[in-house]
Amino acid sequence: MGSLDSNPATFDAFAAEADGFQPLNADDVRSYLHKSVDFIYDYYKSVESLPVLPGVEPGYLRRLLQCAPPSAAAPFDIAMKELREAVVPGMTHWASPNFFAFFPATNSAAAIAGELIASAMNTVGFTWQANPAATEMEVLALDWLAQLLRLPASFLMHRTDAGEGRGTGGGVILGTTSEAMLVTLVAARDAALRRMGSSGVAGITRLVVYAADQTHSTFFKACRLTGFDPANIRSIPTGADTDYGLDPTKLLEAMQADVDTGLVPTYVCATVGTTSTNAVDPVGAIADVAARFNAWVHVDAAYAGSACICPEFRHHLDGVERVDSISMSPHKWLMTCLDCTCLWVRDAHRLTDSLETNPEYLKNGASDSGAVTDLKDMQVGVGRRFRGLKLWMVMRTYGAARLQEHIRSDVAMAKMFEESVRSDDRFEVVVPRNFALVCFRIKPHGGGMTTEEDADGANHELMERLNRTGKAYLAHTVVGGKFVLRFAVGSSLQEERHVRSAWELIRKTTDEIMEGEKKCVHEDGC
């Protein structure tokens, strides 16, 4: 042990208690973690049998647990007991193989292990010096993932073509896509203001941002957070003619119209795999339009980006070499537990110009040298966890082969589900299935269900009944005015049998609804 000489000559006696509180006592840590691992093992073994969506009422937990913080310490087993008895019954089990809502939060043994180790090391790598390994691991993980995605070398901090040399691009791991949008919006905003010669932010009222109406609501929120004028946030209508993807012609018209009235197109957000229906905006065509106006293009590939590690899906990113930034979230579909959103920018300086800080207490030789990356300058905050470790562990342990297998397996299961839906003529698949999300609905077909409105009601009823069983959880969306069920495959414990069972449950529940409708028509003429 390299402990220092500890001659206490110059100290007055300090009443150190031999039994003083040691929050990180290694034996306690091991004991608590072993108990946690046992809990997790049991949880994964039993989660399939738990209702996916709990039946608790608002305020239930407060009624089960004490309202005031305890004064005295308690054995860790007490917290674990309350976790089992009070918390678990009120959970929506995203880990359940019967979870088909939203997008699954995929996970893996390697990711959880990486996150655990990061939590125990608990470093704060705001600057390179504050944890060189964490900074370099994050850069490495981002470069690896960029290679899996075949992103252009211009996005990489370290170009790999010649094996050496520093790129002008850069990446950072953030908590959410929203933050990726926020920081790139700020960079684009500030660059536009500089180009306009704006005095301070005076020109901000002239800046305009664009996205398809299918873009995640968090984009429109990020625009407001960063001070764009609500009147200048364009939501461009899409329709079935483009499968709800952004039409570049409409984008061009909107941008040109704004320029004609003296406004300044500043930023376009293109989505690869929208939340609602997995629509794909045409990245290359959008980049070409935006280039005419010198507007920043960001690609939000939060969910579907992961699929692009497979050659057969990579075409959805065609044209990415002409955009300014791209983000995707391994915490969605790359088996990396929350949170983990990767952002790459083509010119890292455009980001750091807006986000850099340099307080005295963080100054150090390495930063001054310019030879290192200080990741605090690419995010909103200063503090940051050891974010790269779990993502690196996932890629290191599973390799490209397993990661691709995971994507393909989910897509195959979704395809299987889609075929089942298509084989039952009471249903329709509403939009083309691009990845592992199937958007479907009961269609109007006579009986008690002749109008679209009737069908909407039946689909709503179907969702509610399914979710009440606790045996499946599906969410919905509205597409082209129709109420549509979203069936998202991919929860990490999911197997083919769960998808089959869910389809059987959907069929059976639909039978019941149809029976009810018929009875209603027959008996009451209602």
Cβ-based nearer residue to a copy of itself, 17 or 523: 17
Q: Least distance from C-beta 415 to a copy of itself, angstroms?
A: 9
Interactions with a copy of itself, residue window 445-484 (CB under 8 A):
470-472, 475-478
Return d(Cα 517, Cα 526) in angstroms, integer: 9
**DSSP one-letter string for 313-345:** TGGGGTTGGGSSEEEE-HHHHSS--S--EEEEE
- Segment 242-271, which members bind a copy of itself (CB under 8 A)? none
Nearer to a copy of itself, 194 or 292 (CB): 194
Is residue 393 a contact point for a copy of itself (CB under 8 A)? yes
| The residue type at 90 | G
Structure tokens at 500: 């089959």
- Could you tell me the smallest distance in angstroms from the CB atom of residue 227 to a copy of itself? 2
| Minimum CB–partner distance for residue 474 and a copy of itself (Å) | 11
Kindly tell me which of 312 and 419 has the beta carbon lying closer to a copy of itself: 419
For residue 2, what are its two tokens?
A: 């390299």
Q: Should residue 240 be labelled a site residue for a copy of itself when binding is judged by CB under 8 A?
A: no
- Is there binding between residue 121 and a copy of itself (CB under 8 A)? yes
Which member of 19, 161, 162, 217 binds a copy of itself (CB under 8 A)?
Answer: 217
Exposure string of 233-267, with b = 16+ CB inside 10 Å and e = fewer, is: bbebebeeebebbbbbebbbebbeebeeeebbbbb
In the bound complex, what is the minimum distance in angstroms from residue 431's beta carbon to a copy of itself?
A: 14
The catalytic position among 32, 41, 267, 361 is: 361
Residues 449-481 as b or e (16 or more Cβ within 10 Å = b): beeeebbbbbbebbbebbbeebbbbbebbebee
CA distance 200 to 193: 8
CB-based contact 166:404 (threshold 8 Å)? no
Taking Cα atoms as reference points, which of 448, 442, 446, 456 lies closest to residue 519?
448
In the complex, the smallest distance separating the C-beta of residue 80 from a copy of itself, rounded to whole angstroms, is 8
> With CB under 8 A as the contact rule, which of the stretches 249-257, 262-270, 333-341, 342-350 interacts with a copy of itself?
333-341
Residue from 288, 321, 339, 461 that binds a copy of itself (CB under 8 A)?
339
39 binds a copy of itself (CB under 8 A): yes
Q: Which residues in the 409-428 window bind a copy of itself by CB under 8 A?
A: 409, 412-413, 416, 419-420, 423-424
> Where does 47-176 have alpha helices with state H?
60-64, 76-82, 109-121, 132-148
Element of type H or E holding 508:
helix 496-524
Query: Of all helices (H) and strands (E), which one includes residue 351?
Result: helix 348-355
- Could you say whether residue 4 binds a copy of itself (CB under 8 A)? yes
When asked if residue 276 is in the footprint of a copy of itself (CB under 8 A), the reply is: yes
Closer Cβ to a copy of itself, 257 or 400, answer by number: 400
Q: Pick from 85, 120, 511, 522 the residue near a copy of itself by CB under 8 A.
A: 120
Q: For this structure, is 361 an active site residue?
A: yes
Please pick, from the candidates 128, 267, 303, 435, the single residue that binds a copy of itself as defined by CB under 8 A: 128
**DSSP label at 360?**
G
Footprint of a copy of itself on residues 155-214 (CB under 8 A)? 158, 160, 163, 175-179, 182-183, 186, 189, 200-202, 204-205
195: its two tokens? 């180009």
Please tell me whether residue 307 binds a copy of itself under the rule CB under 8 A: no
Question: In this complex, which beta carbon is closest to a copy of itself, that of residue 433 or of residue 498?
Answer: 498
Structure tokens at 40: 């997790």
User: For residues 285 and 473, which CB has a smaller minimum distance to a copy of itself in the complex?
Assistant: 473
Residue 498 burial (10 A CB sphere; 0-12, 13-18, 19+): buried
Indicate which residues carry an active-site annotation.
361
